[in-house]
Structure 1
Amino acid sequence: MKRVEKKNLSRITDWCQAVMESRAPRGGLYIDATMGNGNDTLFLCQMAGNEGQVLAFDIQKEALETTRELLEKHGVHSRARLILDGHQHMERYAGPESADVICFNFGYLPGGDHRIATSPATSVEAVEQGLRILKKGGMMSLCIYSGGDTGFEEKEALLAFLGTLPPRRYTVIVNTYYNRGNHPPVPVFIFKE
């Protein structure tokens, strides 16, 4: 099995994957909280190896079908459990301090219906649950896209919540594409101490 090559580390998803890969142990439990087209799920399955497991969530059946096809194409489908449920229900599927890495891409399914998107209330709830699920020493990656109907509100709600996390328990790093206009995405990394 060949790993997906990083084409552009200045692209938010590639940058977040590089940071996850630098910190995550192989063979762990990884969660893709917003599977979308399955690219992060594939990345996590490859990182998991034969001993690891990936839980991937989405509310759209189309996302699950696209992801399943992608994983089968790369021969890693047995490493993932694809779950048709909202990310705010992660605790139904993973226990406290069980995950090594959790990743989010907030917004809508690329190429999908833009009216179906993550929302501020469920996204903050999902991050809260994810922090309880995350192991000590684990990390969470957030790709926050603004724009659309709820994107700015969601971005502000997430950043406000992250600002309240106790610094002795979490390190929160918010990155900025400083010289890009038009509301560039915000990559965020959370490390649980």
Structure 2
Amino acid sequence: MGFLSILSFAHALARERVRPGDVAVDATMGNGRDTLFLAGLVGEGGRVYAFDVQEAALANTRERLAAAGVPASRCSLLLRDHAELAEALPAEEHGRVAAVLFNLGYLPGGDRSVVTTPASTLQALDAGLAALRPGGVLCAVVYPGHPGGAEEAAAVEAWAAALEQARYQAMTYRFLNQRSAPPYVVAAEKRN
């Protein structure tokens, strides 16, 4: 068996923690792959909150969910910046979230000039971490290969490295012998 791909690794971390009936967050909806994945994990009694700033992302995600037979009631698709996660997530969900997934950069197949930025991403990471329950995980797939991506990746990595060790575990998962700037995972687990 080979190594897991970057996205498969992030999904494996979420799969270990999310159970039917749980709450999960897709902080960067994109084309809905992570939203669909999380919707499958939380099941009928669970809830996924998914964020994106582009209407195309919401439309693509709605189509993907419908094609998979996922009821619209299971997912809240929010046309909002991930930096607004703390305000957009209902108060009763704070401290209950099992997993938060980020897939940073731009919408695949969309407008490449609309990208996540370090300032909004760091705000969203803080909010996502605060929303986690003990044992919950936050995974950010960073893409240093596009304009601005290396700066964002460095900011995310520095953010994770500065987390208080008594409360969080933080790690990276990356391939070292691939193209010059391959994507990688930065993840944090809430201990208590």
Q: Same fold (TM over 0.5)?
A: yes
Distance in 2, matches of 1:161 and 1:143, equals 14
* Residues 116-131 of structure 1 aligned to structure 2 (within 5 Å): 116-131=114-129
Shift in Å, 1:109: 0.3
Distance in 2, matches of 1:80 and 1:22, equals 20
> What is the identity, as a one-letter code, of the residue corresponding to 2:82?
H
Shift in Å, 1:27: 1.6
- TM-aligned CA distance change 1:134 to 1:150, over 3 Å: same
Shift in Å, 1:16: 1.1
Corresponding residue pairs, total = 186
Name the counterpart of 1:93: 88
**CA displacement 1:44-85 (0-9 Å, x = unmatched):** 011111110000000000000000011011111321000000
User: CA RMSD of the aligned region, Å?
Assistant: 1.3
Name the counterpart of 2:79: 84
The answer for unaligned runs of 5 or more in structure 1 is: 1-7
- Indicate whether 1:24 and 2:22 are aligned: no
> Which of 106, 109, 112 pairs up with 1:111?
109
TM-score (norm 2): 0.93
> What is the identity, as a one-letter code, of the residue corresponding to 1:162?
A
Name the counterpart of 1:155: 153
TM-score (norm 1): 0.92
- Indicate whether 1:51 and 2:30 are aligned: no
The answer for unaligned runs of 5 or more in structure 2 is: none
Name the counterpart of 1:181: 179
> Which of 33, 51, 55 pairs up with 1:39?
33
- TM-aligned CA distance change 1:9 to 1:112, over 3 Å: farther
> Which of 143, 146, 151 pairs up with 2:144?
146
After TM superposition, the structure 1 stretch with the greater mean CA deviation from structure 2, 30-39 or 159-168, is 159-168
Q: Classify the secondary structure of the residue corresponding to 2:83.
A: helix
